[in-house]
Structure 1
Amino acid sequence: MRLSREATEQRFKEYIDQCIEEFCVAQEQRIALLQEAQERRFQQLECRIKECRADADYRIKKFRAEAEQRIKECRAEADQRIRECRAEYRADAEQRIKKLRADAEQRINEFRAECRVETEQRIKECRAETKQRIKECRVEYGAAAGQRIKECREEAEQRINEFRADPVITLCGHLFFWPCLYKWLHHRSHPQECPVCKGVVGEEKLVPLYGKGRSVTDPRTEIPPRPSDIHTLFASLEQTRLSREATEQRFKEYIDQCIEEFCVAQEQRIALLQEAQERRF
């Protein structure tokens, strides 16, 4: 018995939706793994920034301690010279003390200025180095994410092209792609039965929708060519009642429409993912 064309198309659409849903679940898992990798990368960057900040703080404290120590040494040296001058030259002790104090203050001020300039310069260098390293990490991660998205798109196109290859119809009136049905019959179904109505299905009860099947085995999937359409009763009925060219064109248009809608949805998801990444950066 033949099902109506509308019922066949509806079941074919449901099967396509199921395949797309499974593929989307796999893509979401991959995106989740990619996001986890991003989180780990961001944590590493934060740890590195904290280390740079801690290093800068340590150096600033070290410079301050050295400056204070040198100031103390200068003061001690000045006091010692003042005491020596007082002992040797009592007459002009006050004048020399004033001069030495002025000299000491000037040296202290100069040294403070030098230390301040040097410290600020080192801080600027540390900040510039940290910013540069952050930019490099962002550029590197952005390139890796772009390459990953490109690979996902290519893999999606390849999977879609594999799914739409060689449609066949069972005698119970259900439409499948030959690679999917072959895997079902030889790896999941014992005994061989239709995935929809659980009727008995074999390679001798399958009819290609158009064409006569491939003449060679696909080396990538190790799936043999689909059965020929000569030895079945359904093929002769299909040749007498339906125009093979019209049926082929309609199913091609429907398949192209489904693929186009799926690709648009995937591009929207990728665009949203890229926007989220930009906002996080």
Structure 2
Amino acid sequence: MKRRKSKTKVQRMPFKMYIRNSWQLYLMLLIPIVYMLLFRYKPMIGGIIAFKKFNVFAGIWNSPWVGLANFKEAFGSKDFWSALGNTLILNAGDLILGFPVPVLIAVFLFEIRNKCIRKATQTILYLPNFLSWVIIAGIITQLFSTSGLVNDLIRKTGLSEVNFLSDPLIWRFVYWISGIWQSAGYSLIIYLAALTAADPSLGEAAYIDGATRLQRIAHVTLPQIRPTISIMLIMQLGKIVSIDFDRPYMMGNTLVKSVSDVISTYVYHVGLQAGRFDFATAVGLFQSIVGIILILSVNQISKKMGEEGIM
């Protein structure tokens, strides 16, 4: 006789009962959902302004449509392409020079066995993240201006002063170094958290096999945080076309305007100061679309290379 296989059916809890038992969790979830809808998704409706000749008194919906006229005006302007080029150069410098720094610092701090030194160094490196670029720009001016501390030391050694803030090429390096000093501490915490979750037995096994410290870092430590590095790199590449306003605006001056005028300052001068909200929205929408395309493209490339993506 053939025995019938008994199929055990998993009884699912009714949806109403599940809501009744976990209503506190859904109530807590409601707050961030409302926040995202009101302050993140609702403002996206304003993107329609990019396709209109916006009139403040007529409002968004009653303003006349102009199609792609604002985009054509932006793409036909030499100042726009100059600002876009400066944005790409400054962001590329931040990526090339600034991205590896917190990774290396995190690895070196992780190798230090003294917890007091590690925590003190981590705190010192993270403190500049709390400073605004207004304060940082003031510090840089006091240090690197022609009458600043650095040039005073250079003159005392018998050398001629260096135009740190008026020479376009040198100004870029000052811009990149200040960015590393300000933002390295934030990324450092992320990499240290990833290193804390790493498997220490792999390093011990490599040590027993005779691997040096540098070999353990290169072949054991770094591969374990490679997914975190990949995600951070994808997010950084997604912002290669966009740039904050305060940093280049506060550090720039008329002598280096040819290299410090970026997309955000261009939108501020041409769009907002002149009341061209439609033009400013068109440039901002262009940045957002390019940023999304870059994130999706780099994410797909990282998946094909065997890395973990963000989606």
Return the TM-score normalized by structure 2: 0.29
TM score, norm. by length of structure 1: 0.32
Structure of higher CA gyration radius: 1
Greater relative CO, 1 or 2 (CA 8 Å, sep 6+): 2
